[in-house]
Structure 1
Amino acid sequence: MLKAIKFRSSNGQLEVLDQLLLPHTMSYIKISTVEDGWNVINKMQVRGAPCIAIVGALSLAVEIWNEEVADKKIFLSEIEGKLNYLISARPTAVNMKKESQNLMEFATSLCNDSECDPSDMKKKFIDQIIQMLEKDIADNKAIGKYGSEAIMATCKGSSQSVNLLTHCNTGSLATAGYGTALGVVRAMQESGKLNRIYMTETRPYNQGSRLTAFEMVHEKFSATLICDSSVAYLFQKKHIKAVVVGADRVAVNGDTANKIGTYQIACLAQHHGVDFYVCAPFSSIDPSISSGDQIIIEERPEREMTYVNGVRIAAQGIEVWNPAFDITPASLIKGIITEKGVYEPKDLKDCFAQS
């Protein structure tokens, strides 16, 4: 399986795969500081909400790896400043923000523990970050299991295999490993229930053609790449059982921010009677956001649309609007697949009310 993150817990060495160079070149970038982490996230050399959070947190771990901590309160203040800086790299994806909040709560508890000295505080804080890697893979496998079961539950006959469509990249390159939406695809492949996975090219960054296609070819899945503009015709001409996509942030009412183009696929899926699923760890659900209207949508540089491989493809002087994400209304989503199970969008609010 491809690895977006290489971390050595023996010496605190971190490398991330430069996904801007795929599929032609596999090259890893060494991360030594929080600034390094911020840069690879902001430049989209690392992407995918779960992967962003893990790389951001690990960049903090490696920066403080050899640091001598003498004062816990000063160390806590340092942690807070660096985590806030990391959140600013990609504001739409909620995972970095939520993991930062969790890490700050943990660091504060260590700071307030009179039996925990400064060196212990640093060690326990780093160990907490490392555990994020293992948890992400376990969560992804659970998402795969629950998603596969939900999709196949509506099929007639246990021997049936199905066609799926996905958008953007949500596999091992977007997570610590296995994947979210592609984790569902992987689980269905492992159980013999996947006939074919279709993927959009995902303009303007081409995460589908560059990354998802690369993963599927590498792992020998039955896979077909289509243009973003071919989705309606695909639904009309091929029997697509379900759409599975990831999420950068889910509002508590189920409205979902994901890669630009997701909303129009959901509209087309409803028109053609195709089930539409969002696949994401529970950490992607933001209980502080009541609806998608409150989600900040990142707008990317115009060059990402007007140039391909350094060559301008758009008319000089044309104005460009390049939102990185759109909002899919909860009404178009059949289920939100998490590591805790599959939820109808209307049930999310109750989940947080009970917790």
Structure 2
Amino acid sequence: MELTALRWRDDRLELLDQRLLPAETRWLTLQTAAEVAAAIHDMVVRGAPAIGISAAYGVVLAAQELGNTASADQLAPAVSTLAASRPTAVNLFWALERMQRTMAGLHGAALIEALTREALRIHEDDRAMNHRLASFGVPLLPENGRIYTHCNTGALATGGHGTALGVLRSAWAAGRIRGVIAGETRPWMQGSRLTSWELMQDGVPVTLVADSSAGHLMQRGEVQAVIVGADRITANGDTANKIGTYALAVLARHHGIPFYVAAPLSTIDPALASGDSIVIEERDGNEIRCIQGKPIAPAEVPVFNPAFDVTPGELITAIITEHGVIRHPGTDTMAAHLATVNDDH
């Protein structure tokens, strides 16, 4: 059975509480849009695609609460609450926009039914997209290489197979690579808690390292490529991803190592010209002062805790989407890729 971060059962959303992994597996049942928004903000569910899928189901829950009075106007507050849960991941807003388009001209039971179908479609589309994306990414990875990855971009961050981690899972299954190096990814430790656990479930050789050892490993020739996910990609190829990604891109460029971003088309935000326009979420300082609730710093020390950073497109070897590969991302190559996709549809 494929690992999953969320499931829709008996008209309720169930989320695997990722704050507790790998020590404890606990599923939470959510019944309101407010509960879904809180779960997104509090990191019960994380990863841009999984956040978007969860938000779509949150709209369904809000419509169910309203029953026969459900309408686009009545659902507006719930959509706003969900949209405010986390600001950086564009998939959240993409999914909510799809749900809002579905509401047009519908009320009551017909609206609830249509929203449920659309949320299920968003979820299933993401699963299928993961596998298509992986098929484009696997041939790019150096044969018999060890690949460095950051944060968690697998089944726990998506609707199924994963984006960057999906490429790595498929690459291992195809005999393309010999292993993965996972950075721990402070402060939420998604690399150590989630990525290493996911890869071990699949029998993929993985070595966990401190984030600060990446340069040392590259200098020693132990990394043949870097692949990461994304939370938002702008029109010129600038990419927002988990804090620490930019430093990896700079290190990879210095050492002549290819640096890949794997993300669905829904992560591209052509309305933003560059990464300068991306809103970077800043989170509570206690995430730095503590590790899983245990203090590791003075209680009153000032903290700066951005959840993401922006990697310029010029440092990215290629962006891998479910519709193909964007090499040397920039304004022209990004526009050409999006135009090709639009022509196909």
- Shorter-chain TM-score bucket reads over 0.9
Determine whether 1:145 maps to 2:145.
Answer: no
What whole-Å deviation, never above 9, does each CA across 1:309-332 have from its counterpart, x for those lacking one? 322111243211110000000010
In structure 1, how many angstroms separate the alpha carbons of the residues matched to 2:291 and 2:254? 33
> Which consecutive aligned stretches of 4+ in structure 1 deviate over 4 angstroms post-superposition?
none
Q: Output aligned runs, 1:72-87, within 5 Å.
A: 75-87=71-83
Runs of 5+ consecutive residues of structure 1 not aligned to the other structure:
112-116
Name 2:31's counterpart in structure 1: 32
Q: Letter of the 1:229 partner, please give it.
A: S
In structure 1, how many angstroms separate the alpha carbons of the residues matched to 2:110 and 2:302? 54
In structure 1, how many angstroms separate the alpha carbons of the residues matched to 2:317 and 2:292? 38
Name 1:227's counterpart in structure 2: 210
CA shift for structure 1 position 306:
0.3
Q: Output aligned runs, 1:280-291, within 5 Å.
A: 280-291=263-274
Name 2:45's counterpart in structure 1: 46
Say whether the 8 Å CA contact 2:238–2:274 is kept in structure 1: yes
Name the SS for the 2:45 alignment partner: coil
Give the stretch that moved more between structures: 335-344 or 255-264. 335-344
One of 227, 242, 264 as aligned partner of 1:244: 227
Runs of 5+ consecutive residues of structure 2 not aligned to the other structure:
none
Q: Letter of the 1:209 partner, please give it.
A: S
Mark the CA change 1:96 to 1:15 in structure 2 (over 3 Å): closer, same or farther: same
Name 1:57's counterpart in structure 2: 56
Say whether the 8 Å CA contact 1:246–1:280 is kept in structure 2: yes
Say whether the 8 Å CA contact 1:50–1:95 is kept in structure 2: yes
CA shift for structure 1 position 127:
0.5
What whole-Å deviation, never above 9, does each CA across 1:27-80 have from its counterpart, x for those lacking one? 01111000110011000111000000101111221343365325xxx6111233
Name 1:131's counterpart in structure 2: 121
In structure 1, how many angstroms separate the alpha carbons of the residues matched to 2:155 and 2:79? 24
Say whether the 8 Å CA contact 1:150–1:342 is kept in structure 2: no
Determine whether 1:107 maps to 2:97.
Answer: no
Name 2:8's counterpart in structure 1: 7
Say whether the 8 Å CA contact 2:36–2:54 is kept in structure 1: yes
Say whether the 8 Å CA contact 1:95–1:248 is kept in structure 2: yes
Percent identity reads 39
What whole-Å deviation, never above 9, does each CA across 1:179-214 have from its counterpart, x for those lacking one? 000010011011111201001000111110011111
What whole-Å deviation, never above 9, does each CA across 1:272-329 have from its counterpart, x for those lacking one? 1110011111000001100000000000100000012322111243211110000000
Q: Letter of the 1:57 partner, please give it.
A: A
Name 1:348's counterpart in structure 2: 334
In structure 1, how many angstroms separate the alpha carbons of the residues matched to 2:40 and 2:299? 29
